[in-house]
Amino acid sequence: MKQALIGITADIDDGKSRKHFLHESYAAVLYHVHCAPLLLAAPALCFKAEYEALAERFIACVDGLLLSGGDDVNALLYNEENYAFNGTFTEERDLFEIALCRCAVRHGKPVLGICRGIQSMNVALDGSLFQDIATQHPDKRMLGHHQKAPAYSASHEIELVRSSLLARTLLDDDSAGDGDAINSGADERMVSLPVNSFHHQAVKRVAPGFVAVAHTHDGVIEAIETAAMRLPQSQYGQPHPFTIGVQWHPEHMYLHHKHAERLFQGFAAACGSSWLDQ
């Protein structure tokens, strides 16, 4: 039986310590679905010319890539100036994650982006971001996208396209009985799902090859996946079985919300793990 090896990107402390770090929940949920996590630390900027070659080596070694949450993304990478409301970003993390994501896509390796991860995915494939959703929607009443409730608690609902790969991953035939408040939306093509929320940036222009498959009621994009199960950047022209980004943090919800656990089970299966619980 195979235990899939998953590369996870690490955050970088912007203080004097310059430590790489990762919240334990990412490793915990991967072990929970019988995968083995491998921390991918961004090299120093003096190795910037080698980022693509290093990404190739890392991606060749892993069965899937998990882009973790963290700080903001440098707006220069999507051809905008950094406004005062953009937060902390780390150049080496931004550039290395972009190299990793593009390499994984070229090789058809499954990719899961979480919170900052969905933003990195979108920028890597030539999309853009709202640098601060509240500031850039001054005439709109926005939801609370940075909750004060515990991380495992859902704070708002998303409207999810029922026919999407993400919906097929999160829901099953008896999903109404799994303890989550999963409801049909006003549009039968959509389904409502409760999620947590810890972000102030979000996808603005969806990158070519991706399609938005979930939104909040205030219009913020909450999930993207490959359009027609295929990204044009794949050098092998093969379908991408699992390339999904979500704006929420399912790694904090999986012990309390079945749909969060299913997301990681689906990712593990796409990465080739054969140790999944039946």
Q: Which residue has the higher pLDDT, 198 or 10?
A: 10
Our CA angle for 220, 73, 64, nearest 5°, is 85
pLDDT tens track for 185-194:
556 788 999 9
- For residues 8 and 163, give the distance between their C-alpha atoms in angstroms, rounded to a whole number: 28
Q: Is the Cβ–Cβ distance between 160 and 182 less than 8 Å? A: no
Question: What average pLDDT score do residues 26-52 get?
Answer: 94
Q: Give the pLDDT score at 117.
A: 96
The answer on pLDDT for 176 being more than 60 is no
What's this model's pTM, rounded to 2 decimal places? 0.89
pLDDT at 174: 47
Assess contact for 259 and 265: CB atoms under 8 A.
Answer: no
Q: Is 67 helix (H, G, I), strand (E, B) or coil?
A: strand
Mean pLDDT for the stretch of residues 117-130: 96
**How high is the pLDDT of residue 275?**
52
Q: What is the mean pLDDT of residues 88-108?
A: 92
pLDDT band at 165 (very low <50, low <70, confident <90, very high): very high
Strands 156-161 and 190-195: antiparallel
Return the CATH architecture of domain 5-135+142-270: 3-Layer(aba) Sandwich (3.40)
What pLDDT shows up at residue 135?
A: 75
